[in-house]
Amino acid sequence: MPTLTDKVALVTGGATKIGRGVVEVLHKDGAAVIVADIDAAGLAQLPEEIDAQHCDISDDTQLAALISGIIERHGRLDVLVNLAASYLDNGAETSRDDWLTGLNINLVSGARLSELARPHLAQRGTGAIINFSSISSAVAQTGRWVYPVSKAAVVHLTKLQALDYAPDGIRVNSVSPGWTWSNVIEEVSGGNLEHADRVAAHFHMLGRLGRPEEIGRVVSFLASDAASFVTGADYAVDGGYGALGPEQRDPAIPLLAP
């Protein structure tokens, strides 16, 4: 089991369902955890031992204040998890403003926060950044343009950061979750996890949705010294979604018979 004892971790978007799963695992594994989120109500529901901070990650002034506050309160920063995201997407009909908003939140804000955190992550030579991509980064999904494009860019950003931050001893990796019990899926499914699992079964080799804590365990590994030789990689935490292919579970060859 990875240990994060004596590490300080910042998680953006940590008030979401997936975010809370990540936060809970990091905290259980020994890290002091700061959550930055724009959702004040969600922040209020976090356990009191979590350092909850209201922050709009698209505002550089707020990002700078966030980092300086963490250093003032905790003395250092060892791990950054860029999890916060926007699902704003109307496919081909997405307006220019919505395109820019989606890219700003999903891509640019994480890049800016990483750079602001860089000198602090570099201090002990064992810093780690975990960016959140998605299975949407690698496949075509009808009616969705902004989110998949932004998440594909995150995968490449991760490689670029890994290269440029390596001299500072900072490792950078990304995770790409499959369908996971999240705020969005809870809303769409009417809060019915069993129904959501049944729908997800056809698209995932493991026959169900992922759980937030399952994503959290991979993040915790990447944040820990157990992953000391891992950088520039994207981890598919997707129950086999990405490997399944377009034929899914249905044998296609028999369909060729006349």
Predicted pLDDT at 250: 80
Is the pLDDT confidence value at 152 over 70? yes
DSSP assignment of the chain: ----TT-EEEEETTTSHHHHHHHHHHHHTT-EEEEEES-HHHHHTS-TTSEEEE--TT-HHHHHHHHHHHHHHHS---EEEE--------GGG--HHHHHHHHIIIIIHHHHHHHHHHHHHTTTS--EEEEE--GGGSS--TT--HHHHHHHHHHHHHHHHHHHHGGGT-EEEEEEE-SBS-HHHHHHTTT-HHHHHHHHHTTSTTSS-B-HHHHHHHHHHHHSGGGTT--S-EEEESTTHHHH-TTTTS--GGGG--
Confidence of residue 248 (pLDDT cuts 50, 70, 90): confident
Query: pTM for this structure?
Result: 0.95
Does residue 165 carry a catalytic annotation?
Answer: no
Predicted pLDDT at 2: 74
Mean pLDDT, rounded, for 167-189: 96
Q: Which CATH class is domain 8-241?
A: alpha beta
* Ranges of each domain in the chain: 8-241
Average pLDDT value over all residues in the chain? 97
Is the pLDDT confidence value at 1 over 70? no
Tokens of 142: 């009808």
Is the pLDDT confidence value at 101 over 80? yes
Is the pLDDT confidence value at 19 over 80? yes
Mean pLDDT, rounded, for 104-117: 99
Q: How far apart are CA 237 and CA 135, in angstroms?
A: 9
Catalytic residue among 147, 165, 235, 241: 147
Predicted pLDDT at 9: 99
Predicted pLDDT at 51: 98
